[in-house]
A = this chain, B = another copy of it.
Amino acid sequence: MDVGGIEMKVAKFGGSSLADANQFMKVANIVQEDERRKFIVVSAPGKRHDHDYKMTDLLIQLGTAYVKDEKYKSYYITIMDRFTTIINELKLDQSIVTEIEERLKSIMSLELPFDEHLDHFKALGEDSSARILSAYLNSQGIESSYTNPKDAGIILKEDDTGVQLCESSYELLANLRDKSGVSVIPGFFSYTADNKLKTFSRGGSDITGAIIAAGVKADLYENFTDVDSVYTVNPTIVENPKAIPILTYREMRELSYAGFSVFHDEALIPAFKENIPVEIKNTNNPSAKGTLIVSDKKQSEYSVVGIASDTGFSSIYVSKFLMNRELGFGRKLLQILEEEGVSFEHVPSGIDEMTIIVRDTQLANNKEDIIVERIKKELSPDTVTVHHNLAMVMVVGEGMKETIGMAQTATTALGEASVNLEMINQGSSEVSMMFGIKANDLHRAIQSLYAAFFENK
């Protein structure tokens, strides 16, 4: 896509890409390297090492302590110290330190309900990242300006389900295209039409980047993080797994469902809706190939692109003789769940049996007992039993539907690893096959599936 003759990229940099001055320098190099990178979205500084704190967490601790009238000074000092160190190491003007400190003080002096007040503290991390990066880019001779998300065009509204984007934002955002130089925009928050600051509950800065990409109709949305690419399987389970060069949105979504946590898949929806490809890149190794996420692709080398897994599932098994003649049985069962506010993941059913797979979190607060009691009372089943400690394994790939023998390869791999199958769900999704197993068997299962789909080719 080439609108107006200029190709445009939106690049979003995550917390680890902005953890210290050295990381800011890497980011500046990446921005400088490609003049199509016109819109830069930034997170708050992340951890510099495993035992470090993220800036956002420090701000939450400061805000909470301050508002609750507890000791807050050490947080204040740590926060200002980190910003000051970054700014000094980047050899920027001290006025930026002063500016950030003035902003922090003015946030502290706000009189707002707790949650709204805390949102202001939280947003300072991203906001300061953007100011520092913009100043640093200018110091390196790259024309750049800090752009507040509301000035960029992101107008929010709040309803029952949370914070939403006003549709009118896209028209405003389109104007950004004409802005000269590089715009650096803080992620994670923006404002309502009447100037209330709101943070995004899910996906943080990823969603800001996706909104900007959709708004300016970017040709590519680059998502810089600290991994070279998305891997075919969790690297903590399989050593040095293969990278995934290209993924479809659908594949990404299925993988995300079951524990692929490169980013929150729903955050990318604004970009997906506009068919903008998303590229996962590594700030620390920008020449690595990365992973491209697209709406469509040619059949890849493998029919399976990845294997994801997640634990923390339970099953509710209900059996009743002649259930399949009882019109409405399934509906009544799901209605009980709905009335208890429990959403289910799957409902495999037999002739006289139904199993409902739910996430454990859905059964907390005594919901399990309540639901089992209601099922017993309202549906008079022969048996109701609940099993915990289930894991779901998902084998994902667009080629799946057309490929004979995928199920065979998968079940053979699981059989060889002595993994008993509690559930197979195949055919409902066009791009995945799901296996329910005992959580204890998970590592063995994944390793065997990886070997079967990625090593024996």
A303 vs chain B, min Cβ distance (A): 13
A120 CA to B429 CA in the complex, in Å?
53
Bound-state Cα–Cα, A243 to B321, Å: 26
Chain B residues within 8 Å of A257, by CB: 324, 351
A165 to chain B, nearest CB (A): 15
Contacts A327-B341, A338-B327, A411-B408 given; does A350 touch B425 at CB 8 Å: yes
> Which positions 130-144 of chain A face chain B at CB distance < 8 Å?
none
Those of A400-456 within 8 Å (CB) of chain B: 402, 404-405, 407-408, 410-412, 414-415, 418-430, 432-434, 436
Instruction: State the CA gap A385–B223 with chains docked (Å).
Output: 35
Chain A 331-373 per-residue mask, 1 if CB under 8 angstroms from chain B, else 0: 1001101100101111111111111000000000000000000
In the complex, A418 Cα to B404 Cα: how many Å?
Answer: 6
* Contacting residue for A426 out of B324, B402, B423, CB 8 A: B423
With A331-B334, A343-B325, A349-B347 as contacts: A428 and B421 at CB distance below 8 Å: no
In A227-252, which residues have CB < 8 Å from any B CB? none
Tell me whether B419 and A411 are in contact (CB under 8 A).
Answer: no
Number of copies of this kind of chain in the complex: 2
Q: Quick one: closest B residue to A431, CB to CB? A: B350
Chain A, interface SS category: mixed
Q: Is the CB of B324 within 8 A of A331?
A: no
**Interface residue from B254, B331, B407 paired with A424 (Cβ < 8 Å):** B407
B residues within 8 A CB of A421? 407, 426-427
**What are the residues of chain B within 8 A of A433 when measuring CB–CB?**
424
Contacts of A412 in B (CB 8 A): 408, 411-412
Let me know if B404 and A420 touch, CB within 8 A. Answer: yes
Shortest C-beta distance, A84 to chain B (Å), equals 42
> CA–CA, A367 to B384, complex, Å?
33
> Does chain B have a CB within 8 A of A253?
yes
Given contacts A327-B343, A408-B411, contact A428 B350 (CB under 8 A): yes
Of B321, B341, B349, B414, which contacts A408 at CB under 8 A? B414
Is A296 on the interface with B (CB-CB < 8 A)? no
**Shortest Cβ distance from A310 into chain B, in angstroms?**
12
- Residues of B near A327 (CB, < 8 A) are 338, 341, 343
A322-B266, A334-B330, A334-B334 known; A354 vs B428 contact (CB < 8 Å): yes
Q: Using a Cβ–Cβ cut-off of 8 Å, how many residues does chain A contribute to the interface with B?
A: 58
Contact of A328 with B by CB under 8 A = yes
Q: How far is the CB of A287 from chain B (nearest CB, A)?
A: 34
- The residue among A324, A345, A415 with the most chain B CB atoms within 10 A of its own CB is A415
Q: How far is the CA of A353 from the CA of B430 in the complex (A)?
A: 9
CA distance A352 to B256 in the complex (A): 13
B-side contacts of A402, CB under 8 Å: 420
CB distance from A416 to the nearest CB of B (A): 8
A334 contacts which chain B residues (CB < 8 A)?
Answer: 328, 330-331, 334
Q: Which residues of B contact A410 (CB under 8 A)?
A: 411
Evaluate contact between A425 and B348: CB separation under 8 angstroms.
yes
B residues in contact with A253, CB < 8 Å: 351-352
A32-B280 Cα distance, complex, nearest whole Å: 83
In angstroms, Cα B426 to Cα A349, docked, is 9
Complex contact B348–A428 (CB within 8 A): yes
The answer to whether B408 and A404 touch across the interface, beta carbons within 8 angstroms, is no
Contact A349 B428 (CB under 8 A): yes
Q: How far is the CB of A429 from chain B (nearest CB, A)?
A: 3
**A335 contacts across to B, CB distance below 8 A:** 331
15 contacts between A and B (CB under 8 A): A253-B352, A254-B351, A324-B343, A325-B343, A328-B334, A330-B344, A348-B427, A348-B428, A349-B428, A353-B429, A402-B420, A407-B411, A407-B415, A408-B408, A423-B427
Other than A350-B429, A410-B411, A424-B427, give 8 A-B pairs with Cβ distance below 8 A.
Answer: A328-B338, A330-B347, A331-B334, A350-B434, A353-B429, A408-B408, A423-B427, A425-B425
